[in-house]
Structure 1
């Protein structure tokens, strides 16, 4: 059976992480705990926002996009890593079409992370810079339109990105990564990769350029409004929500740039593989705390739920 898989051209060898036998159990337990935490915290927040009518506001509904995407991004990668921890390196195989699907989902998750944070920045901009028009601008229809746009634009851009790699013939069968991504796919080919590099560079420039540019412009205008306003309570509230949003964005950008920097140092390939996992676990782990639990309304609802479930002890005088 193994020989047949080895001979099959659609079976790829996935290098994965190098985990020693002594470290297998600690690594598995750590990854499992992180994954459970990501799923419970993000799915829990989505259910809380959807079930509490008082949280049916644009900011919280837009936040559901982030939590859903974070749970999706962790699910794309972590279960596969958990399965590979106890699998010998020589037996880590993946079907080519599974690899393509995983690569698409990986880039889709990263792209949506940027677009969701961009529409959340737009929401904060309208709320702070045009508070009197907020209700008329951020209607239910606008929230749905922004959410759909955040997901669909990236869907088509990543579809082309991965499609350019799928069209190539394959002369190699080793994926030098813990999981499949677009570079892993086109590196399997011996054909010219000029079109892949051009589109990949253009995709990165457009996504990061619009993300960084949009964030900088949005928060520059917010800063101007806050500095010109004499209402300290409004400014403090604005800074609290903006600080949480910026922290989530900073973690996402830092996780991505670490991978780019480590690509420049081939001798640090093992560190790059570990860093490539961070973007799928660090932002999803931190967003629910940094952004979700820092929101006063969400925090209050969570405290109410805990108080309801807390057993009461009656004291007889």
Structure 2
């Protein structure tokens, strides 16, 4: 259990004054059994004429910003500050109780769950040489010999061990096949590789975006910006989180902000401007995450 403070700053600069289109923000987590929001502050300059919250198709919290004409500006600053308490299941777990029928792979989802899982079980990217299929099958033994949780843990650790992490600030995500071919990628690339591999096995998986806080070892990868990982639907356990970039399981050190079908649906800040293409100068993003353990007495009091 930890008290987490997150400051996420996004700054745009323009050569000439420009108008701003509506912006869409995905910066606010949802309260849950493992996450409690203590306070949320959103500071925007120039000040928008309208700010409203809504839920998207996945029930993520969305904030829309709109500016009135004839506003023109040479800069846009968006600063999200979160104070929250995190109750992770922990790296030493999970000791999940799967439905007996799901303890061994392969298994089938219950008929009443299949329509709701929908496209989360479907591949979203091309795999022309079936390299992703081959990667996924590495972790499957003979019929009745593959334990579901072990399969997912082994895949998580293999991605971390076998691929090279490298930060990439350009927009976009590699396909799972490209990541295997290149042998390198970012956290979002590794997440999509694991998602596509899991979906190739017929399981439902979601793309998760949020923040990573330090485990005090200094060995974690993907900090200093938003982070990406995976959640998998397992009967009896529900949605279980896996971070292939760092080999983390069950949400330890991970603060979930949103869950989507694809990375394109999980942009923290999206919007545009009215002006010339040459007017855009730069976008700078800075994420600061600090964590402090909650004293045992305070945990009991809460």
TM-score, normalized by the shorter chain, greater than 0.5: no
Measured against the shorter chain, the TM-score band is: under 0.3
User: Could you say which structure has the higher strand fraction?
Assistant: 2
TM-score, structure 1 normalization: 0.21
User: Could you say which structure has the higher helix fraction?
Assistant: 1
TM-score, structure 2 normalization: 0.22
Q: Which has the higher contact order (CA 8 A, sep 6+)?
A: 2
- Higher Rg: 1
